[in-house]
C-alpha cells in the first residue's frame, strides 16, 4: 500500500464538511483510506499516529488543509491530489458559494442573526466561541477537544450575557425547526428536548415525530454539562427557555446521570417548573432512579419519548407497541433454533454512542455481562483495538476510532471491517447494529452495511452456522435517506430490523438469554 500526504495552503473548511470529503475520497477505486484535516498540531499527530507518512515535512499551519491517502499505487494518490480543487468545489457548490470568511463579515451580511455554529479545531474553538458570545450570539459549539476549564469559562460568559452555549461537542440541536449538526426531519410540535447526547436527541425526536407529534426545540448541551465540574449551567438555561416558550408544553431531559452535586440543582429546578418534565438518565438500573424531583422518571429512550408524548396530551398509537415493551417470543424461538451449540456470544457495532450505552444497560439489566470501549460505570473496559471477548458492544464513534477518520455516521468503512471480523468468530451468534439517518449522515447508511451483512451471514453459513443480525434505524420518512427505503435495504440483506434501538437491544438480550438458558 502507498501512503502520501499533500498540503493546500490557506484553505479553511469545517470538520463536518471535511468528513464528507474524506468519505467520498475513500470510495474512489484504489483508495484504501483517506483523511482530510486542517493542519493543527493535534491533527498532524493524529494523522501520523494513523500511519500516514510525510506529515512532518509538509510545514502545515492551522490555516492549511492536509490531505492524506493510502492507495494501491502512487499514481492514484497523485491523480487525486491533482484534482482536489474539483473535489472540494463540487461539494461546496451544494451549499452555495462561500461569501464570508469571518464572524464580522457574517454579521455585516446578516445583522439580525442570533446564533453562531462553530466547528473549528478544538484548540481554536474557545476563542471563536468567546468572540461570538461577545458579539451577542448564542453558540452551538460542534467542536470537540475543548478543555473542561474552557467549557466552564465560556458557559459562565454566556450565562452572564443571557446567552446559551450548546456544547462543546454538541452534535445535534433543532432550533425553531432548523436542524443543526446531525439532525432528522421532524415536524414542529409541543415537545421540547434538552440533551447531553446527540444520538439520544435524534432517537427521541424521531420517535415523537413518527408517533404523530412534534418538537418545539431540541437543545444540545454537551456531554459534560451535567457533571459537577460544569454544574448543569446550559441544562438549567435550556429549561428556563423551554418553560418560557409558548410552543412547548412538555420538557424531556436526556443524559447520563448528573453529578452528585448537580442532581439536587436539577431536581430543584424541575420541582419549580410550571410545565411537566420527563427525565431519562441512561445507565441507571430499572427501579433505582433516585432524585427525580417532580419529573416523570424513565430509564430508556423509548419510555422517555412515550412519556413526553402522553404528557403532551396524546397517547402513542397502539400504546405500548411503539415503545417496544413487547418481545416477539416466537421470533426469538425461531432464531434460537437456527443457532448451533457453540454460538453463545453477541457482538454490537454501533455508530451512535448513546444507542451503544443504552444497549449495554438493557443487557446488564437482563443479567448479561458486557465488555465495551465505552462501558457503563463498573462494567469491563475494552480497549479500542483489543479483540472482542464474550458479549461485546463497541461504540465506533468514540475518539479512538475517529482520530484521522470520518465519524461512522458518515463513513462506515471501519464498521464494515469489524462486522466481517466478528463473523469469523465461530462463537458469535448475534450481531447488533444501528443505522442513523438524517442531515449530515451518509447518503445510504443501510446500503453501506448491507453487503457486509450478507458476507457475514455467508461466512457463518459456510462454517455450518447461522448468524442473526439485529438492526435498528433512527430516523424519519422525511430524512434524505428515507426510513422505509433504508429498512427494506437492511431486510433484503437478511437483518431483522426494529424501529428503535431499545427494541433491537431488548430482542437481542432475549435471544442471548435464551441461548444461555439452553446451554445451562
Asked whether the predicted pLDDT for residue 272 surpasses 50, the reply is yes
- Dump pLDDT digits (tens) for 299-320: 899 999 999 988 988 776 654 4
Relative to beta strand 2-8, strand 250-255 is unpaired
Asked whether the predicted pLDDT for residue 361 surpasses 90, the reply is yes
Are 187 and 476 a contacting pair, CB within 8 Å? no
Asked whether the predicted pLDDT for residue 514 surpasses 80, the reply is no
Are 371 and 453 a contacting pair, CB within 8 Å? no
- Dump pLDDT digits (tens) for 279-303: 999 987 644 444 445 678 888 999 9
| Residue 22: φ, ψ to 5° | -60, -40
pLDDT at residue number 92: 46
- Dump pLDDT digits (tens) for 451-504: 999 999 999 998 889 999 999 999 999 999 999 999 999 999 999 999 999 999
Q: Does domain 329-519 have CATH number 3.40.50.261?
A: yes
pLDDT at residue number 293: 56
pLDDT at residue number 43: 82
Are 170 and 198 a contacting pair, CB within 8 Å? yes
Q: For residue 455, give the H/E element and its range.
A: helix 445-462
pLDDT at residue number 50: 78
Residue 112, C-beta contacts closer than 8 angstroms, at least 6 positions apart: none
The class (CATH top level) of 2-93 is alpha beta
For residue 28 the three cell numbers come to 474512489
For residue 240 the three cell numbers come to 428556563
Cα 461–chain centre separation:
32
Residue 27 CA to residue 298 CA, distance in Å, equals 42
Asked whether the predicted pLDDT for residue 157 surpasses 90, the reply is yes
Cell 470538520 belongs to 15
Mean per-residue pLDDT for 362-385? 88
pLDDT at residue number 95: 46
The CATH H-level (homologous superfamily) assignment of domain 99-169 is NAD(P)-binding Rossmann-like Domain (3.40.50.720)
251: DSSP letter: E
% of the chain at pLDDT higher than 90: 62
Residue 470 CA to residue 502 CA, distance in Å, equals 12
Nearest to 291 by CA among 321, 327, 310, 266: 266
Mean per-residue pLDDT for 377-406? 84
Are 375 and 360 a contacting pair, CB within 8 Å? yes
Asked whether the predicted pLDDT for residue 10 surpasses 90, the reply is no
pTM score, whole prediction = 0.85
| Residue 312: φ, ψ to 5° | -80, -5
Instruction: Tell me the DSSP string of 14-54.
Output: -HHHHHHHHHHHHTSTTEEEEEEEE--HHHHHHHHHTT--S
Nearest to 346 by CA among 331, 354, 336, 337: 336
pLDDT at residue number 1: 81
% of the chain at pLDDT higher than 70: 92
pLDDT at residue number 408: 92
Residue 229 CA to residue 225 CA, distance in Å, equals 8
Cα 24–chain centre separation:
20
pLDDT tier, 260 (very low <50, low <70, confident <90, very high otherwise): very high
Extended strands (E) in 369-467: 371-372, 380-381, 392-395, 428-436
Q: Which residues pair with 434 in a beta bridge?
A: 472
Instruction: Tell me the DSSP string of 79-90.
Output: HHHHTHHHHHHH
Asked whether the predicted pLDDT for residue 322 surpasses 90, the reply is no
Q: For residue 415, give the H/E element and its range.
A: helix 413-423
3-class secondary-structure state, position 484: helix
Asked whether the predicted pLDDT for residue 324 surpasses 70, the reply is no
pLDDT at residue number 516: 59
Residue 481 CA to residue 473 CA, distance in Å, equals 11
Domains of the chain by residue range: 2-93, 99-169, 188-323, 329-519
- Dump pLDDT digits (tens) for 24-38: 888 888 898 888 988
pLDDT tier, 93 (very low <50, low <70, confident <90, very high otherwise): very low
pLDDT tier, 113 (very low <50, low <70, confident <90, very high otherwise): very high
pLDDT at residue number 120: 84
Rounded CA Rg of the chain: 23
pLDDT at residue number 214: 95
162: DSSP letter: T
Mean per-residue pLDDT for 198-207? 96
pLDDT at residue number 325: 46
Domains 2-93 and 188-323 share a fold: no
pLDDT at residue number 370: 94
pLDDT at residue number 404: 62
Relative to beta strand 371-372, strand 2-8 is unpaired
Q: What is the mean pLDDT of the chain?
A: 89
Residue 56, C-beta contacts closer than 8 angstroms, at least 6 positions apart: 44, 48
CATH topology of domain 188-323: Rossmann fold (3.40.50)
- Dump pLDDT digits (tens) for 114-135: 999 998 878 889 999 999 999 9
Asked whether the predicted pLDDT for residue 265 surpasses 70, the reply is yes
pLDDT at residue number 517: 55
pLDDT at residue number 356: 96
287 vs 516, residue with greater confidence: 516
Amino acid at each position: 500500500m502507498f501512503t502520501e500526504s499533500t498540503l493546500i495552503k490557506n484553505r479553511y473548511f469545517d470538520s463536518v464538511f471535511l468528513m464528507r470529503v474524506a468519505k467520498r475520497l475513500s470510495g474512489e477505486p484504489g483508495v484504501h483510506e483517506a483523511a482530510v484535516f486542517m493542519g493543527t498540531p493535534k491533527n498532524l499527530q493524529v494523522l501520523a499516529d494513523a500511519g500516514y507518512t510525510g506529515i512532518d515535512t509538509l510545514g502545515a499551519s492551522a490555516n492549511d488543509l492536509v490531505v492524506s491517502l493510502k492507495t494501491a499505487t502512487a499514481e492514484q494518490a497523485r491523480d487525486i491530489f491533482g484534482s482536489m480543487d474539483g473535489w472540494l468545489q463540487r461539494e461546496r457548490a451544494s451549499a452555495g458559494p462561500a461569501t464570508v470568511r469571518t464572524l464580522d463579515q457574517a454579521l455585516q451580511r446578516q445583522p439580525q442573526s442570533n446564533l453562531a455554529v462553530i466547528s473549528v479545531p478544538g484548540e481554536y474553538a474557545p476563542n471563536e466561541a468567546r468572540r461570538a458570545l461577545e458579539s451577542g450570539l448564542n453558540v452551538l459549539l460542534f467542536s470537540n477537544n475543548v478543555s473542561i476549564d474552557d467549557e466552564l469559562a465560556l458557559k459562565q460568559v454566556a450565562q452572564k450575557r443571557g446567552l446559551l452555549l450548546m456544547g462543546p461537542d454538541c452534535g445535534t440541536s433543532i432550533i425553531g425547526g432548523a436542524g443543526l449538526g446531525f439532525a432528522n426531519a421532524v415536524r414542529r410540535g409541543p415537545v421540547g428536548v434538552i440533551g447531553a447526547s446527540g444520538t439520544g436527541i435524534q432517537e427521541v425526536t424521531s420517535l415523537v415525530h413518527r408517533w404523530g407529534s412534534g418538537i418545539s426545540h431540541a437543545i444540545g448541551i454537551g456531554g459534560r454539562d451535567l457533571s459537577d465540574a460544569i454544574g448543569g449551567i446550559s441544562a438549567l438555561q435550556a429549561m428556563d427557555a423551554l418553560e418560557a416558550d409558548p410552543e412547548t408544553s412538555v420538557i424531556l431531559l436526556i443524559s447520563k446521570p448528573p453529578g452528585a452535586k448537580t442532581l439536587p440543582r436539577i431536581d430543584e429546578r424541575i420541582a419549580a417548573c410550571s410545565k411537566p418534565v420527563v427525565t431519562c438518565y441512561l445507565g441507571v438500573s430499572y427501579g433505582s432512579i433516585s432524585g427525580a424531583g417532580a419529573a416523570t422518571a424513565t430509564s430508556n429512550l423509548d419510555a422517555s419519548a412515550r412519556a413526553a408524548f402522553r404528557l403532551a396530551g396524546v397517547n402513542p398509537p397502539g400504546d405500548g407497541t411503539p415503545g417496544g415493551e413487547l418481545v416477539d417470543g416466537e421470533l426469538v424461538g425461531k432464531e434460537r433454533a437456527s443457532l448451533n451449540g457453540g454460538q453463545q456470544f453477541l457482538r454490537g457495532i454501533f455508530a451512535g454512542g448513546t444507542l451503544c450505552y443504552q444497549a449495554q444497560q438493557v443487557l446488564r439489566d437482563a443479567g448479561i455481562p458486557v465488555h465495551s470501549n465505552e462501558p457503563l460505570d463498573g462494567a469491563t473496559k475494552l480497549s479500542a483495538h483489543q479483540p472482542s471477548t464474550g458479549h461485546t458492544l463497541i461504540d465506533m464513534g468514540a475518539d479512538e476510532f475517529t482520530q484521522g477518520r470520518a465519524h461512522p455516521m458518515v463513513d462506515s468503512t471501519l464498521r464494515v471491517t469489524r462486522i466481517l471480523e466478528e463473523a469469523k468468530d465461530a462463537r458469535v451468534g448475534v450481531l447488533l447494529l444501528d443505522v442513523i439517518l438524517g442531515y449530515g449522515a451518509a447518503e445510504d447508511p443501510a446500503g453501506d452495511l448491507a453487503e457486509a451483512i450478507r458476507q457475514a451471514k455467508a461466512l457463518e453459513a459456510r462454517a455450518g452456522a447461522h448468524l442473526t443480525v439485529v438492526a435498528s434505524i433512527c430516523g424519519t420518512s422525511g430524512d434524505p435517506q428515507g426510513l422505509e427505503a433504508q429498512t427494506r435495504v437492511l431486510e433484503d440483506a437478511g437483518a431483522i430490523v426494529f424501529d428503535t434501538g431499545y427494541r433491537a437491544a431488548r430482542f437481542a438480550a432475549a435471544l442471548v438469554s435464551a441461548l444461555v438458558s439452553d446451554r445451562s
